[in-house]
Chains A and B, each alone.
Chain A
Amino acid sequence: MKPLHFQSTKHPDLNADVQEATLVVSQYWPMRSFVHHNPLDHLRTLPFGEAVATSMRFLKTRGYLPSTTYRRYLASGRITREHLTAAVRPRVRAEHAVLAGRRVTHAEVLEACLTAGLCDPRFEPLAAHLPGGDEDRLDRLASRLAAAGVGQAETFTELATADRAALGVTGTLSAWCDALLGTRLVGEIDDQLVKWIGMFIDEGQAAYEMPNRGLGFYAAWKELATREWTTAGIIDARHKIAALPDDPGDALLEQLESLGVVQPRRRDYFALQMGPLQGWAAFLKWRSSTPTYAWQRANPVDLVQYLAVRLWYERELVHQACRKKLGITGRIDAADALMRDRPAEYGLRRRCVAGQLPGGFAREVDRLAAGPGDRWRDLATAHEREVLPRERDAARRGSARRLLGLAKAVGFDAGQVAESQPEELARVHAWIGEFPEVEHGPIWLEAFEAGYREPLLASLRTRVGAGVGDEAARQRPDSQSVYCIDVRSEPFRRNLESIGNHETFGFAGFFACFISYRAWDRHYDTEQYPVIVSAKNRVCEVPKSPSDPVVAAHQRGRALLHAGHELLHDLKENIVTPYITVESLGWFYGLPIVGKTLMPLLYSRFRSSLRQWIEPRIDTTVTIEPPADPAALAVLAHEHAHDTGTIERIGYTLDEQVATVTLALKMMGLTKNFARLVIFCGHGSTTDNNPFSAALDCGACGGNEGRGNARTLAGMGNNLVVRSRLREVGVDIPDDTWFLAAQMDTTTDQVSIEDVEDVPPSHRDALVRLRADLERATELNAQERCLTLPDVAELLSAGEIDYRRATTIVRRRSVDWSQVRPEWGLAGNAAFIIGRRALTRGLDLRGRTFLHSYDYREDPENNLLEVLLTAPQAVAQWINMEHYFSAADPLISGAGSKIYHNVVGRIGVMMGPWSDLQAGLPTQTVLSGDMPYHEPVRLLTVIEAPCSRIDALVAKHDILRHFYDNCWVHLVAYNPEDGDWHRYQPGGGWTMLPPGEESFSAPMSGS
């Protein structure tokens, strides 16, 4: 974890506590370069199950799908009974009970709990009248359970005792007030923080920016909040804010003192404060860890400042509510004393707010709470007399309903179960009680993962059994192409290979080029490499012929469009002009609205043509080496006028080029048998009206298109000097091999080849053939894609559209501004296979696997595998976990529905106008209807390499131990030397996987 930079350095203990507390939230990057991340990444030192539980405690997130969803998977056969039985086995005890004269084992009861939903925590209502069937039988069974002493209802004293233990540990004081008084303090605090943080972090979206941002968040807030007309209803807020210390650390300590939060609770209390606005906290955490970020340099903000402001609101609002409604101070010790000394009042109020009191009691509580007098004890006595017995009866009916459900699940006669011995009924009831539903998730997950793992490993084993062969001995392929490891490449590669003699490779889409890239026409650089590393070189896209008149025409057109855009923006945002702008220019928007809505494809073409007319397209190249041409330098100087001193850094040295090409080719296993045409194919996407567009671009390129990287590597590869140096390190590239750069549009499946004008005439025929095959592969891929899109798949299956239209359909989706699901992106990802293509060639992996080409024989030092496991695998794991948690908890860990999204500050989206920053993926990316499209399973890494080599790397890197020992990633190795498959055991060691035992059970706790 990168260290966070806090302004409050004069309180090192405080800073350390805040730093520790922030472990519960991940970092969130601005979404213009959407970075898939593991929301629990900073908890990966914990076993997966514990990390999920920790997140649930502090952030109230859900780490597993609901049991009802898992049961639907069971009903559909996606989860099998065998896998479920295996997953539940570690919890089974060798015990049995006798019901209805028959034995029922502990294992049967636990399985029935899972399959029949017996542990559903839902209450039995006190007086439900909806017919449920079996009423008489239910009553009989409930009375037998009563004889066995079953049926508990929580008293107010018990409730108060439990809540005393939880205050400050699982809940804040403001949440305590909300639960007790029916207030909305947490919501009010959140509203205030969203308002202030939203204004502060704005990166150019707001027409009027917040003043004094340069002072830092805390100081700017302090300056402005004292001028508010009213501050969250806090009495005398202006003076109170003005009296706060200038230092945020001092202020934070003051709030803690006032709230009575003392060590050792401080760290937990901070962590709890991250929960309600975890998206914003994650973004501030990223800002804190990125002091070089321009906006952070200009407007510093950190989590100490955030907490100082947040806790000020909490302190004032809690004090105010507690004094007014309870007559106590808003401190933890005072709240604790109230729960200890006034359990009747506490319990009645608490249950009233929770809606757990019958209407008459609730109204009486309202009356007592509003007026003077102390009849709480009388009311509590009445409650104990009238309601508790009914609650016990209801609890027994609930238990009886579970036992009848159990009888049905295990095939017993429900009628006879009611005649069982009370003590046997009580025993089974206790077994069910010991297995609450919150503990089901890990078991379901194991069974769910086994259902994916088993067929995958079996198919790989079959493929190996058929003979991988020596690829070097094969005939020279017509083409070789290298695609990103992205799961979307897999179907395209498969389809291309099926058409002709084309060989494909998988490699992280930045192609080992760690570059800051300035695309032509852009005013900023993009960081074209995984976010866990940093840039080494800068590459710019420049006109190929700077002195060409078309370049001048292009620049004039661009200036014109830019001026028009700026003018329109200013007219819209100015305080005076919007009205007249709408009146005079509003009609002009009619054409785009009609075009985008009714004829998106046609309108898109029209718009491109218009743009091409105004701003003629020019041929460009990339500056692999610093440009020597004065004209090119002049253009660069013009384009980079604001980037003083950066031109000198442009390009690679020869040594760097050689090193880069060597590394790339060796890592992808492409060191011999080169084809005449070799394509490095990056990828990007085309969507409209989609704030998440960067999430569809190349994750390995930091959420950007990979075109620049591909052109850079191809350019280096075509450099004859570089080739000659490569021969010295054993990579002999034939003279007739030509490297091409290309980009695949993952939304439309089209592949556009770059710099075709540079292709030697001798290769033109081959290029024409290759293009034809790529187009055919595009069509096949479009057909395959259409079958996964629910709305299109229905039309396909109904015969309303034919497969030929598939290409048109996917293109139309890419430019349709109302389309919330232009493509599925990386949804479905589940495995990462590192090995030769021969392992997977011909297998339909359904676009669920990251494929990285790797030949262990080319890596005697283990260096390449080390890079693969610590970089691409880490990125794949982040992607996997982002999808996992977004699917498991679409509303908190995910981003909710796109329909309600609004972009805020140009850094993310909120739900509606006012909410937490939505840091995950939208439901349209991970859900299909009410079921997950992305099946949330942990990443399965399959490596074709000897286990001993992997062991050495696991021992060397903490991150790998965390992944494998803590069960964040499942690891399987195929050892080509002995032909066996092995599974890594959490804690170390390998277990051989015999054929048919691919569905190994993975313990959740790790080591």
Chain B
Amino acid sequence: MMQSTGLDALTTDVPLAALLAGLPLAGVAAGLAFWGNARLLRGFCVAVAVGSLVAVGLVAGRFAATPLGLLPAAILPVVAAAALLGQPAHREHRLWWLETLVCLGLALGGLAGADIWQHACKAALVLVVMFLLMRQQTQFEPVAWWGMAALVVCLAGLLFVRSAGERLAPWVALAACVPLLPLVPFHGGYASSVARLPGSTAGFLAVALPLLGLHSAATLLGDLPAEMWIGIGWLALASAVWGALRALVQADFRRMVAFGGVSLLSLSWWFAASTSGPRLPAATVYVAGVALAAGGLLAAWQVVRSRYGDAIDPRGVGNLVAGMPRFATLFYVLGLAAMGLPPFGPLTGFMSQAMDLPLAAWGGLSVVLGVWLVPSFYVIGMVHRVLFGPERPELAQTDLVPPEVVALTAYVFMLAAVGIVPGGVLARTGPSTIATVVNDAACFEEATR
């Protein structure tokens, strides 16, 4: 298991994490000044997200030495901006935008921060999610106790990962990861966040939580015993099948996305178990791809909710293709990405990991392939229902407005970019100058052992 390493100390530090986390958080404080004008506030929040992207770009070289590289840190601000743009500038959404910025700041801090900083940021993010979930209960949806419990487990793992004894350490480290990169029975935190939280926040967390989970796994699970990986492998298979079955029977769109995410993201645990640890950067591509597909579908569904109310049931809309051709095109493309068609990230990541499998793992591959094909039923089924199902002529259809076009297009581009980006760009050892730093760091690590 990788504890506080010299590598981290060299390549990530407090000022970097503070900068990346602080910018969105400062944006939240500044955004209160625009509270009275929803349109301005949304514009400001988008600007803050874009500013975070610029900040990430400015320190891009520093990410080359982090476990997942630059990709997650570059994705998250874009996802935040897209999630914000995907919501109409309505006064009821103001708080959600600020919450999204808070989550963005903490997520970037979690990716960029050094040892204590990353755990602290992740723990803070988990706390925020728990708070939001507590606030989000309704008559038919009381507090999601399974989800809360999973997040408490995660929180405990993050808090005690540095201080746990050698015997408990692997379990604690695992506890810090599995609720974020979901694995049954600790999937509740992720599933509840995706299925219940309001628009832009859910869309953002659908991407951020798995990436943070993978980041934790890459950071903390390096020395996990082989027996534990075997158990994780079996659990991952069960989790993938269970998630797929749950997704299949969902009538609710967001729940379908949540359980579909649980199913597909569990596969990343199975791949990691097969190789005794996540194979980077293939795992990053896969998790980013699946997470982006989930986020994109949520953003697309947000378009429907904006028009017909947050509580709209998928059975309440149909044949949107007739009056919303732009939406139909982008929604369909996102659906194709989610079911794993080229050239999008999920397929690329899946194939990269599958090609890397040891021979012993091929027994489970049949189950994995089965799970991999299931989204072809439930995603396309849902997309067809919404786009081509029986029309409700009494519902007006308004096609995408420009900010929504930008938001959905951003998801499509990100999914495509993740899918076709050259491996060298994603490799932990990046361009020559960074490679030098990394090589130096490796030498330093070797020397200190």
Contact = CB atoms under 8 A, between A and B. Distances in A.
Interface in A71-127: 120-123, 125-127
A547 B87 CA distance: 85
Interface string A743-774: 00000000000000000000000000000000
B315 A386 contact: no
Which of A131, A358, A359 is packed against the most chain B CB atoms within 10 Å? A359
Interface string A662-701: 0000000000000000000000000000000000000000
Contacts of A333: none
Contacts of A130: 88, 306-307, 398, 401
A354 B306 CA distance: 20
Given A121-B394, A355-B315, A363-B252, A129 B138 contact: no
B315 A127 contact: no
Interface residues of B, number: 33
Given A355-B317, A360-B311, A386 B140 contact: no
Interface residues of A, dominant DSSP: loop
A354 B394 CA distance: 12
A122 B396 contact: yes
A359 B311 contact: yes
A363 B392 contact: no
Given A121-B393, A122-B393, A358 B309 contact: yes
B315 A125 contact: no
A128 B139 contact: no
Contacts of A364: 140
B356 interface: no
B310 interface: yes
B90 A125 contact: no
Contact of B88 (A121, A129, A358, A360): A129
A360 B139 contact: yes
Contacts of A128: 306-309
Interface in A796-829: none
A736 interface: no
B313 interface: yes
Interface residues of B, dominant DSSP: loop
B357 interface: no
Contact of B310 (A120, A127, A355, A386): A127
Contacts of A205: none
A129 B90 contact: yes
A366 interface: yes
B93 interface: yes
A-B complex: 7 closest residue pairs judged by Cβ atoms: A355-B316, A358-B311, A127-B309, A360-B140, A355-B315, A129-B90, A362-B313
Contacts of A129: 87-88, 90, 92-93, 305-306
Nearest to B311: A358
Contacts of A355: 312-318, 392
A126 B311 contact: yes
B26 interface: no
B136 to A, nearest CB: 12
Which of B140, B395, B401 is packed against the most chain A CB atoms within 10 Å? B140
Contact of A125 (B93, B139, B252, B309): B309
Interface string A344-355: 000000001111
Nearest to B308: A125
A356 interface: yes
A123 B90 CA distance: 20
A362 B392 CA distance: 17
Given A129-B306, A131-B88, A360 B396 contact: no
A353 B313 CA distance: 10
B159 interface: no
Interface of A: 120-123, 125-131, 182, 352-364, 366, 382, 386
A352 B306 contact: no
25 contacts: A120-B396, A122-B396, A123-B395, A125-B395, A126-B309, A127-B310, A128-B308, A129-B87, A129-B90, A129-B92, A130-B88, A130-B306, A130-B307, A182-B315, A353-B315, A354-B315, A354-B392, A355-B313, A355-B316, A355-B392, A359-B252, A359-B311, A362-B251, A362-B315, A362-B316
Contacts of B306: 128-130
A173 to B, nearest CB: 19
A131 B312 contact: no
Given A126-B308, A128-B308, A131-B88, 8 more contacts: A122-B395, A129-B90, A130-B306, A352-B315, A353-B315, A355-B315, A360-B138, A363-B252
Contacts of A121: 393-394
Interface in B131-145: 138-141
B89 interface: yes
Contacts of B309: 125-128, 358
Contacts of A127: 309-311
Interface in B290-324: 305-318
Contacts of B93: 129
Nearest to B316: A355
A1005 to B, nearest CB: 26
Contacts of A386: 139
Contacts of A362: 251-252, 313, 315-316
A977 B183 CA distance: 94
Nearest to B313: A362
A401 to B, nearest CB: 11
Contacts of B316: 354-357, 362
Contacts of B140: 360-361, 363-364
A364 B313 CA distance: 12
